A and B are shown apart, each in its own frame.
Chain A
Amino acid sequence: MLRSAVTTERSPRGQAVLEQLLENADIAQADSVPVCQDTGTVWVRVELGAEECLCGDVVAEVNVAVAQAYHDAHLRMSLVNDALFDRSNTGDNTPAFVDIAWRPGTGATVHVMLKGGGSDNASRVEMLAPDAGIEGVRRVVLEAVEARATGACPPLLIGVGVGATFDKVAGLAKRALLRRLDEPSADPKLAAFEAELLSAVNATGIGPAGLGGDMTAIGVQVLTAPCHIAALPVAVNLGCCAVRSVTIEVGS
């Protein structure tokens, strides 16, 4: 995706930034060096087949795996013990942030995302009134981008959640980041809305690295859900150009 972007980006400075990002990806792969020094918080979503019966503490097992992986791969330890009262490093990048859900069938689907702090900081949740509608959602997305995109390492992948409740809508936005860029939304209404949001974001001129240009975002991905009759929750989770996620099928 980024490779083709270099040819369409019209800003010379934007092109120079995209070329740095491509060279970065090649070096990271060849030398086994992380693409970004912020190797992130680990977010894991386990979708367990409903026909399975799982005993034991899944969350504890995830934390053991995270601690081992961060140690062995020389990744950065980026977590503190308490947000307010003890900002000493936990030393092993745990705890991971784990969701557990169910899906039909056997086995499990495991999603893992490493998310940098800068782009998560630039994210937001707003509780709109239902009559704000599609226009309201568009405003929240564009305001998040306008206010904070330059520090979130564009070109961005933007996850948008609409619906559910105050606590769940942010998770919806994060899950929206999991969809592969080459898989458009199955719902044509949603696909059209995503395309419209992407073109509005890219008309801001913020550009690669926020230094001016066409490509502020590479994709906008939206997930919607039921919600209360009085509510229109919206969450925007900005993903940086180095957002890293993988989906693994286990035993199905």
Chain B
Amino acid sequence: MSSPTRIDLPVSREVLAGLRVGDEVRLYGPVFTARDATHAKLAESLERDDRLPFGLEGQTLFYAGPTPPAAGRPAGAVGPTTAKRMDGTTPLLLEAGIVATIGKGLRSAEVREACVRTGSVYFAAVGGAAALLATFVAGSEVVAWPELGTEALVRMQLEGLPVFVAIDTQGADLYADARAAWRAQSEGER
């Protein structure tokens, strides 16, 4: 496999347009953690004000709910949660200015179409590798909704988080394609 591409966040849609499904990417810069309850709050806020709160335009969402950090550490264990649960809200958020999302697992056709329409990308991180992924987090601060605990909106500073491009701006889908490709290849070898 080719060497990973470095992406500095926040990232422009022009840069995202150059990424292709399956590319290995290292992410540097700020992301905002948001999962189930956070998405309900973001959708409410968007509905009320017709724009994203907290300067989220142009930013990247990380579907994650970290463990509390142990004393002296910038982050506890942190890793992706299942993206599918956020699919209902994601097209709205992409239309409103979110440019990329990070999670795990297959997403809906509506999200794929919204990625094409808005020029956004979905990155996949490896689930179950949260001790490793936490080593790529340099710092974090709660931006909003601290009462949500692990579901609060947290600004997290990344230092090279390893991800794969799972849906690119042309709508290619790694979860669907890689599996079919691998199956075809291994059947050929039999």
> Which residues of A approach B to under 8 Å, CB–CB?
10-14, 16-17, 20-21, 23-25, 27-28, 31-39, 74-78, 87, 89, 91, 117-118, 121, 150-153, 203-214, 240-242
Contacts and interface: CB of A to CB of B under 8 A. Distances in A.
B21 to A, nearest CB: 11
A205 B104 contact: no
The 5 A-B pairs of least Cβ separation, nearest first, read: A151-B105, A212-B178, A205-B183, A153-B127, A28-B131
Contacts of A205: 178-183, 186
A121 B24 CA distance: 28
B162 interface: yes
Interface in B133-190: 133-135, 148-150, 162, 164, 174-175, 178-183, 186
Nearest to B151: A89
A150 B128 contact: no
B179 A210 contact: yes
Interface stretch (B43-51, B63-71, B91-99): B63-71
Given A206-B179, A212-B179, A35 B67 contact: no
Given A34-B131, A35-B130, A76-B68, A209 B124 contact: yes
Contact of A240 (B37, B76, B128, B186): B128
A25 B178 CA distance: 26
Q: Chain A interface secondary structure, helix, strand, loop or mixed?
A: loop
Contacts of B131: 24-25, 27-28, 31, 33-35
Interface string B74-114: 00111101111000000000000000000011100000000
Given A151-B82, A211-B164, A37 B182 contact: no
A151 B84 contact: yes
A89 B124 CA distance: 27
A35 B76 contact: no
B132 A27 contact: yes
B15 interface: no
